[in-house]
Amino acid sequence: MRGPVPRHVAIIMDGNGRWAEKRNLSRAEGHRAGMRALRRTVEACRDLGIEILTVYAFSTENWKRPRDEVDALMDLLGEWIHKEQQELLDNDVQVRVIGFPGPLPPETRRALDDLVKATSRNKGAVLCLALNYGGRREIVEAARRVAEKAARGLLDPATLDEKAFEAELETAGIPEPDLLIRPSGEMRLSNFLLWQIAYTELWFTPVLWPDFQPEHLAEAVEAYRSRDRRYGGLHEDKD
């Protein structure tokens, strides 16, 4: 018996640089091809009935990359917003941003803010962009907020539970991912959604992100539907 389609899919968009190098192109062209893959994937999620797509667009560690590559990524983000905003509006997609966008260029932050505001009333699906995001930092910042509330007498530490802590995370109000996909052949989480994926199903593929097609997403979803999600317990028909 096959299970339902995942409600929330998270993707680590990996392999843009290697894709470009194999074709003797600049890394910026690899990221541009990855941008096209994102558009295909958003459309494929809609077709499959996936309600939420969270993508790892830029990590807190990505600042270590060469300056010209980081600048190109920021320019491409602005280009993507300009090209895709109307499409997102037409398809009733709400955009959310998680992470710590403070260090992003001011024009990029303004464009993101405008996009989030413009799509805030959309109800068809959610596209969550993880930008300047790191799972460890997210947990530390949440712990800091909890500690500050306790110090101000707004929270009794004895009453703190997982639900209350989750309310302080960047993803507050978003259900945990059902399925996490990582292209490019790497088999690690790279500091992505460390709290949220405690019981998320993982699916890895050697396909580089720019080559990721709707059929790859469908393959991942079918693999997910065939799995028995027990959350640490036993299947209902087993002793």
Residue ranges covered by each domain of the chain: 8-134+176-224
Catalytic residue flag (residue 62): yes
**In the structure encoding, which two tokens stand for residue 175, read together?**
């259900």
Q: In terms of CATH, what superfamily is 8-134+176-224?
A: Decaprenyl diphosphate synthase-like (3.40.1180.10)
Report in angstroms the alpha-carbon separations of 27 from 22, 23, 145, 184, 191: 10, 10, 38, 15, 22
In whole numbers, what is the pLDDT of the chain averaged over residues?
A: 94
The amino acid sitting at 140 is: V
Phi, psi (5° rounding) for residue 208?
-70, 150
Kindly report, residue by residue over 207-226, the tens digit of the pLDDT.
Answer: 999 999 999 999 999 999 99
Please identify which of the residues 16, 24, 62, 132 carries the catalytic annotation. 62
The amino acid sitting at 114 is: D
Catalytic residue flag (residue 122): no
| Predicted pLDDT of residue 230 | 72
| Predicted pLDDT of residue 229 | 77
From the list 201, 203, 199, 198, the residue with the least C-alpha distance to 183 is: 203
| Predicted pLDDT of residue 63 | 94
| Predicted pLDDT of residue 239 | 43
Residues of the chain with pLDDT under 50: 238-239
Query: What is the chain's alpha carbon radius of gyration, rounded to the nearest angstrom?
Result: 19
| Predicted pLDDT of residue 2 | 84
| Predicted pLDDT of residue 233 | 60
Do the beta carbons of residue 177 and residue 9 sit within 8 Å? yes
List of residues 6+ apart from 188 with CB closer than 8 A: 182
Q: Are strands 52-59 and 8-12 parallel, antiparallel or unpaired?
A: parallel
Q: Cα torsion at 153, 157, 160, 166 (round to 10°)?
A: 70
Do the beta carbons of residue 50 and residue 61 sit within 8 Å? no
